[in-house]
């Protein structure tokens, strides 16, 4: 719908309120429900929002190591602008109109808005003559818990929705059919169509693959899917967790990013070359080389939390080395090359805990870097176990090391701008500092009595 059609819709339906949201630096949706008249009044100039939303962490604790906002700036309002192209209604909330928003436009220079970052990178891609097509897929655990019951048991021993290791199970999804079909049908109505939804290996694990779309729309759908799944699950007395790895004894939860570049009219997959032995065009090889080259410099965008690195361990269906391969699930980058329509790259580092705007920004910007610089694909594809091939390096083992590398990297500054890079890296260093102060259950069990 265009602006007039949306205004007509609100008037015809006598709609009094709308909801909008944007993603903060962690990918958490922040937003408001506002009166329809306030919505109309703010379409041109935006809606004032305290910029603390980019100055605090996931627990609303204010950073003390960032420049863009803080006590030193007085936490002023910034203008949040609604993107009318994202209009949809929320079927499980009385079909209230909903929009995505961001902090783009005049007056918002320097605001570290993830959606704005991706908009700018996608525009760079278009300016180079390419249409970026993306999709993110997610695994997550479902628990027969509520936020209250989890807090009462201090998040220890949550009860999975279903027992046992039962990937691709028709039985388990049928045993929770009301929840399962609510996910399928309500997400479809919410304009997040799924290519597939199934159980993964592990108790209570689901995996959803979103149908591919233009990079920005794909990120919108990915960010909204995570929040929507949590809301739909809550209606069934279920808590859905997108934590990268909630227990050592089970596989983690991925958030793989699939991507390809097409002609601007979307008729030709520019990654595909039927005359090449691997069906990979030179453009695809440059793009792939760019991702491999930039990976150590931008890892926190793919692995943004302390917990992310608990998933990135050998033999746990997540990569640990700077590698690629043809349909190889042990490498960091997996090339799928079966046809013109489906040839793409799967970036396998991201977990379900990623901010979709930042994970997709990282993949696209680093791929474009390879194209701009015509980087040769000198790394050979891995055949067999990618965990064993450390000839091109391994991923950083923890968030602090990865964040410090990004903070000092001229490559990251070039890809995302110095202001954003420094802000984001500092937020990850803050995250490490908060973790480092904590006394864990492991420490208590290991040292309390015996040491």
pLDDT of residue 17: 98
% residues pLDDT > 70 (the chain):
100
Read off the pLDDT of each residue in 208-230 and give the average, rounded to a whole number: 98
pLDDT of residue 274: 96
295-326: pLDDT as tens digits: 999 999 999 999 999 999 998 899 999 999 99
Read off the pLDDT of each residue in 429-447 and give the average, rounded to a whole number: 96
pLDDT of residue 442: 92
Read off the pLDDT of each residue in 179-201 and give the average, rounded to a whole number: 97
48-100: pLDDT as tens digits: 999 999 999 999 999 999 999 999 999 999 999 999 999 999 999 999 999 99
User: Taking the model in full, what pTM does it have?
Assistant: 0.97
Q: In order of start, what are the domains of the chain with their CATH numbers?
A: 3-112 (3.10.20.70), 125-442 (3.30.590.10)
pLDDT of residue 210: 98
107-141: pLDDT as tens digits: 899 999 999 999 999 999 999 999 999 999 999 99
336-353: pLDDT as tens digits: 999 999 999 999 999 999
5-30: pLDDT as tens digits: 999 999 999 999 999 999 999 999 99
pLDDT of residue 113: 98
pLDDT of residue 32: 97
pLDDT of residue 376: 98
90-107: pLDDT as tens digits: 999 999 999 999 999 988
Mean pLDDT across the chain, nearest whole number? Answer: 97
Q: What is the 3-state secondary structure (H, E, C) of the chain?
A: CCHHHHHHHHHHCCCCEEEEEEECCCCCEEEEEEEHHHHHHCCCCCEEEEHHHHCECCCCCECCCCCCCCCCCCCCEEEEEEEEEEEEEEHHHCCEEEEEEECCCCCCCCCCCHHHHHHHHHHHHHHCCCEEEEEEEEEEEEECCCHHHHHHCCCCCCCECCCCCCCCCHHHHHHCHHHHHHHHHHHHHCCCCEEEEEECCCCCEEEEEECCEEHHHHHHHHHHHHHHHHHHHHHCCCEEECCCCCCCCCCCCECCEEEEEECCCCCCECCECCCCCCCECHHHHHHHHHHHHHHHHHHHHHCCCCCHHHHCCCCCCCCCECCEEECCCCCCEEEECCCCCCCEEEECCCECCCCHHHHHHHHHHHHHHHHHCCCCCCCCCCCCCHHHCCCCCECCCCHHHHHHHHHCCHHHHHHHCHHHHHHHHHHHHHHHHHHHCCCCHHHHHHHCCCC
pLDDT of residue 67: 96
147-157: pLDDT as tens digits: 999 999 999 99
């Amino acid at each position: 719908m265009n602006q007039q059609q949306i205004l007509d819709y609100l008037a015809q339906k006598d709609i009094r309120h709308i909801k909008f949201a944007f993603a903060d630096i962690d990918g958490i949706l922040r937003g408001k429900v506002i009166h329809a008249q306030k919505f109309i009044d703010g379409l041109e100039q935006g809606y004032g929002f305290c910029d603390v939303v980019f100055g605090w962490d996931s627990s609303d604790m204010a950073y003390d190591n960032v420049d863009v906002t803080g006590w030193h700036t007085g936490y002023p309002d910034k203008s949040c602008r609604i993107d009318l192209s994202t209009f949809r209604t929320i079927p499980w909330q009385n079909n209230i109109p909903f929009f995505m928003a961001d902090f783009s436009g005049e007056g918002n220079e320097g605001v570290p808005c993830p959606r704005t970052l991706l908009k700018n990178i996608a525009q760079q891609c278009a300016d180079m003559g390419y249409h970026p097509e993306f999709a993110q897929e997610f695994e997550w655990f479902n628990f027969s818990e509520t936020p209250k019951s989890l807090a009462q048991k201090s998040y220890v021993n949550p009860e999975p929705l279903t027992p046992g290791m039962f990937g691709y199970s028709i039985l388990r999804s049928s045993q929770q059919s009301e929840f399962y079909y609510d996910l399928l049908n309500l997400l479809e109505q919410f304009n997040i169509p799924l290519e597939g939804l199934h159980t993964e290996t592990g108790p209570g694990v689901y995996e959803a693959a979103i149908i591919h779309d233009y990079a920005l729309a794909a990120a919108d759908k990915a960010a909204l899917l995570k929040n929507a799944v949590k809301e739909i699950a809550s209606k069934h007395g279920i808590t859905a967790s997108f934590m990268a790895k909630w227990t050592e004894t089970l596989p983690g939860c991925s958030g793989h990013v699939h991507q390809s570049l097409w002609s601007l009219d979307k008729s030709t997959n520019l990654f595909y070359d039927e005359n090449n032995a691997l069906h990979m065009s030179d453009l695809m090889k440059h793009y792939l080389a760019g991702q491999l080259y930039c990976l150590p410099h931008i890892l926190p965008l793919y692995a943004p939390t302390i917990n992310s690195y608990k998933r990135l361990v050998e033999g746990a269906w997540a990569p640990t080395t700077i590698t690629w391969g043809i349909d190889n699930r042990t490498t960091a980058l997996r090339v799928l090359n079966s046809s013109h329509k489906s040839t793409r790259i799967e970036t396998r580092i991201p977990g379900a805990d990623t901010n979709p705007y930042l994970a997709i920004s990282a993949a696209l910007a680093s791929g474009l870097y390879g194209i701009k610089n015509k980087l040769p694909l000198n790394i050979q594809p891995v055949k067999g176990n990618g965990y064993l091939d450390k000839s091109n390096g391994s991923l950083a083992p923890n968030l602090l090391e990865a964040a410090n590398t990004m903070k000092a990297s001229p490559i990251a500054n070039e890809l995302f701008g110095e202001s954003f890079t420094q802000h984001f890296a500092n937020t990850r260093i803050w995250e490490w500092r908060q973790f480092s102060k904590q006394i864990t259950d492991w420490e208590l069990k290991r040292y309390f009595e015996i040491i």
